[in-house]
Amino acid sequence: MGLFGTDGVRGVANRDLTAELALDLSVAAAHVLADSGEFAGHRPRAIVGRDTRASGEFLEAAVVAGLASAGIDVTLVGALPTPAVAYLVATLQADLGVMLSASHNPMPDNGIKFFARGGVKLDDALEIAIENRMREPWERPVGGDVGRVVSDVSAADLFVSHLLSTLDSETPLSGLKVVVDCANGSASVVGPEALRRAGAEVIAIHAAPNGLNINEGCGSTHLDDLRAAVVEHGADAGIAFDGDADRCLAIDALGNDVDGDHILGILAISMAASGTLVHDTVVSTVMANLGFNQAMDAAGIAVISTAVGDRYVLESMRENGFVLGGEQSGHVVMSEFGTTGDGILTALHLLARVCTSGKTLAELAGVVTKLPQVLINVRGVDRNALDSNLRVSAERELLESALRGSGRILLRPSGTEPVIRVMVEADSQDWAQEVAEQLARVITTELALD
């Protein structure tokens, strides 16, 4: 069926992602985990959270109905960040976590993401098993064997306390003025609260969710309001979360963007200096700017590049014991403190580095000099023929030779659409644009669908 993508099941709520589908997925997940032995010897328990989308309310009800009808006790934690749900699953020793969110997607979308024991994402095999067992006949528990449902009003404070416990002092952000764009999402309460308790003066914007305004012209995908607010208030920095607060981008005091490559570079160098960067290695993706790799090389830090998607970053980190990884989009994983990308955790450690270094955010971010980057989506082409087309391969080799090591070319077929993404980095914007357009023309000609 192919329901699961790289980050759970997503779609337009009540059209693609219906209450019926949410219920069926939850029942199937309960059966798969029960058969794997996860629930052996005890009464199973799940943590269920959501972001602030209106559709999260009916989807939450459907998920709860599915889990409880399958005999799982459910603890509702309300609107909280995705990493909070992962943390609570691990800390409260729950057997399953469910987060209802479509992250940075627009409001009509929603999604379902499952976490296994320990707050880790389900592996591919479990997701396939869940899909295969959708709507199977089953014997329903009755009487006292059905699941019970409770709400935990202390969950938010527990999560904030955890975030603050990862810092080296009680008020490490003392003296900083920070503007925080909460994307009218899950971070609207806990994001500003965590930064204030860490000692910062906080000005919160887009922190009034009404169910309809999540990610609407705000948050990590729309930085203009944050940029203007940082300059207006004379703030030291701006922090932007997305709808479920699993990513973080920043703005320096001058209004310049500080993206995931900059943030990952700042944290990697800081951790290497303190001896906490395992194997002096950071994990990133193939979409990281070449300037990031060059900066890490200059700092004596190795870079492991994975496919695009935080799940691939996480897999590499778990397999090799690395403690820091992330993406240009702002997903940053600090595995000493969490099992998934955590925007608020990232913001706290980034701003703490500003304070301890005595440097401005702009000065710290300057360690990564970004090469001009151009991305073109070539549509209406056969993405499956990319690797086998000799003309495209020859043109790519010719253009890579012309870049003479001062840039790079990345071609990525979309996983779901007839689209090939052409990304070019070069030492000038014009040169990157010219190379990208030339390669896009060849791809359009050679791989056009009939």
316 an active-site residue? no
Residues ≥6 apart with Cβ < 8 Å to 433: 374, 424
Instruction: Determine the Cα–Cα distance for residues 421 and 260; give it in Å rounded to an integer.
Output: 20
CA-wise closest residue to 363 among 274, 293, 262, 273: 262
Instruction: Determine the Cα–Cα distance for residues 239 and 76; give it in Å rounded to an integer.
Output: 28
Query: Rounded to the nearest 5°, which phi and psi values hold at 347?
Result: -60, -45
Instruction: Determine the Cα–Cα distance for residues 112 and 100; give it in Å rounded to an integer.
Output: 5
Instruction: Determine the Cα–Cα distance for residues 419 and 307; give it in Å rounded to an integer.
Output: 17
Whether the Cβ atoms of residue 49 and residue 78 lie closer than 8 Å to each other: yes
Of 55, 101, 103, 284, catalytic:
103
Using the Cα atoms of residue 54, residue 57, residue 59 and residue 60 in order, give the sign of their dihedral. Answer: positive
CA-wise closest residue to 349 among 268, 273, 428, 294: 268
Whether the Cβ atoms of residue 206 and residue 182 lie closer than 8 Å to each other: yes
Where does 189-344 show beta strands of DSSP type E? 201-205, 237-241, 248-252, 257-258, 281-285, 302-306, 324-326, 332-334
The DSSP 8-state label assigned to residue 427 in this structure reads S
Residues ≥6 apart with Cβ < 8 Å to 209: 52, 79, 184, 185, 188
Both tokens of 298, joined, read 């200059």
CA-wise closest residue to 326 among 376, 366, 289, 294: 289
Helix axes 187-197, 343-357, angle to 10 degrees: 20
Catalytic residues: 103
